[in-house]
């Protein structure tokens, strides 16, 4: 073998391996999730599994109404609605990556319902009953989120709307805050959201998969643009939060190893133009703040919700005066 050929081959092999790894990462991270979205009893394995399973069982026993809207790119997006008597508002629950609202908000759904809120629980694109080939880490989901708020405005005219997201759902609602939401949206709750798709991908690649991000992500970004039509920079939560003017409550567990809490610190630095509350729960793992310190989280939630509803009512009365 000629020396020049050997050198060319030596240079080609690492590039080919990097490309193969990037394709694998894209398929693993972006492809549609086909798991069990309603998480049958006994499938949750964590210290709070008994409470979570009981919460999911309670939700499935309720009279849930299934509704559908179309996304901007003509996907059918489905949600389940739990109504209540004499509602004080509507809460849109946006679930996280490879999950469902019934799972992620398993212990909050009954709590919110008993407080007098209508709950709208979408299956995010490429999850559950909703269409979609690719999960896009909030990049396209933020527009779906806004469409759901517009649906709620028409269906429940006059009621205030709050957004509540967890993990990828948290980043989705924060991203949606930067693209303009209806006036009826009076507050946003974001639990353990990441700051940027590249931030969370880098963290997972390095700490969960043992893959150096620098050799994979540049290629994966190009694949994501070509196959899924997404630019990672459109998922920059910090940039969206600069434009947000809605009251925002950010919650994060300090023991979160999946989405580290420093990402909430980063997000909070950019939320300069809104009424911001940050709550960090010692010892709470990913998405477990509510269950780890229920008293503190509930007190904070109730104060925040009350403030948002009163602010909406005050704004409404001044408009009608």
What Cα–Cα distance (Å) separates residue 247 from each residue in 91, 270, 311? Answer: 14, 14, 10
Q: Could you tell me the domains of the chain?
A: 1-31+197-228 (no CATH), 40-196+236-320 (3.40.50.1820)
- Higher-confidence residue of 228 and 241: namely 241
Indicate if the pLDDT at residue 140 is higher than 90. yes
| pLDDT value at residue 26 | 83
Strand-pairing partners, residue 120, are 81, 92
Q: Is the pLDDT of residue 90 over 60?
A: yes
Q: Which of 136-140, 162-166, 315-319 has the lowest mean pLDDT?
A: 315-319
Categorize the per-residue pLDDT at 33 as very low, low, confident or very high, splitting at 50, 70 and 90.
confident
Q: What is the DSSP string of 262-293?
A: HHHHHHHHH--SS-EEEEEETT--TT-HHHHS
Mean pLDDT of the chain: 90
* Residue 222 near residue 30, CB atoms below 8 Å: no
Residue 44 banded pLDDT, cuts 50, 70, 90: low
Answer yes or no: is pLDDT of 151 > 50.
yes
* pLDDT at 132 > cutoff 60: yes
Residue 243 neighbours by CB distance under 10 Å = 13
The residue that leads in pLDDT, 251 or 47, is 251
**How confident is the model over 252-265, as pLDDT tens digits?**
999 999 999 999 99
Contact 316, 289 (CB under 8 A): no
User: Tokens 């509602």, residue?
Assistant: 87
Between 29 and 95, name the one with better pLDDT.
95
Whether pLDDT at 73 is above 80 = yes
Q: How confident is the model at residue 8 (pLDDT cuts 50, 70, 90)?
A: very low
pLDDT (tens digit per residue) in 190-219: 999 999 999 999 998 888 888 888 888 888
Euclidean distance between CA atoms 134 and 182, whole angstroms: 27
Mean pLDDT of 37-44: 52
Nearest-angstrom CA–CA distance, 264 and 236: 13
CB 73 within 8 A of CB 147: no
- Above 80 in pLDDT, residue 17? no
Q: Compute the average pLDDT of residues 219-245.
A: 93
Residue 61: phi and psi, rounded to 5, are -85, -10
Angle at 174 between CA 135 and CA 167, to 5 degrees: 55
First CA to last CA across the chain, in angstroms? Answer: 87
pLDDT band for 27, please (50, 70, 90 cuts): confident
């Amino acid at each position: 073998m000629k020396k020049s050929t050997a050198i060319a081959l030596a240079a080609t092999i690492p590039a080919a391996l990097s490309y193969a790894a990037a394709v694998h990462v894209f398929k693993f991270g972006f492809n549609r999730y086909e798991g069990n979205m309603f998480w049958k009893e006994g499938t949750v394995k964590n210290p709070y599994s008994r409470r979570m399973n009981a919460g999911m069982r309670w939700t499935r026993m309720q009279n849930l109404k299934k509704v559908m809207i179309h996304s901007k790119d003509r996907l059918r997006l489905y949600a389940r609605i739990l109504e209540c008597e004499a509602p004080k508002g509507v809460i849109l629950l946006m679930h996280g990556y490879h999950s469902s609202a019934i799972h992620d908000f398993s212990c909050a759904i009954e709590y919110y319902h008993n407080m007098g809120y209508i709950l709208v629980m979408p299956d995010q694109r490429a999850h559950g009953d909703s269409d979609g080939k690719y999960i896009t880490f909030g990049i396209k989901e933020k527009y779906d989120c806004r469409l759901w708020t517009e649906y709620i405005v028409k269906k429940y005219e006059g009621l205030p709307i709050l957004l509540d997201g967890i993990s990828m759902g948290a980043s989705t609602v924060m991203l949606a805050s930067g693209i303009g939401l209806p006036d009826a949206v009076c507050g946003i709750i974001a639990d353990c959201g990441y700051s940027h798709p590249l931030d969370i991908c880098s963290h997972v690649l390095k700490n969960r998969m043992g893959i150096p991000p620098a050799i994979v992500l540049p290629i994966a970004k190009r694949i994501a643009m070509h196959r899924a039509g997404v630019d990672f920079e459109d998922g920059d939560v910090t940039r969206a939060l600069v434009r947000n003017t809605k009251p925002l409550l950010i919650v994060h567990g300090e023991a979160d190893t999946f989405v580290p809490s420093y990402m909430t610190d980063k997000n909070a630095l950019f939320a300069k133009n809104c009424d911001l509350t940050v709550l960090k729960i010692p010892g709470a793992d990913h998405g477990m703040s509510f269950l780890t310190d229920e008293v503190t989280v509930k007190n904070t939630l109730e104060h925040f919700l009350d403030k948002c509803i009163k602010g909406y009512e005050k704004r409404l009365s001044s408009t009608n005066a």
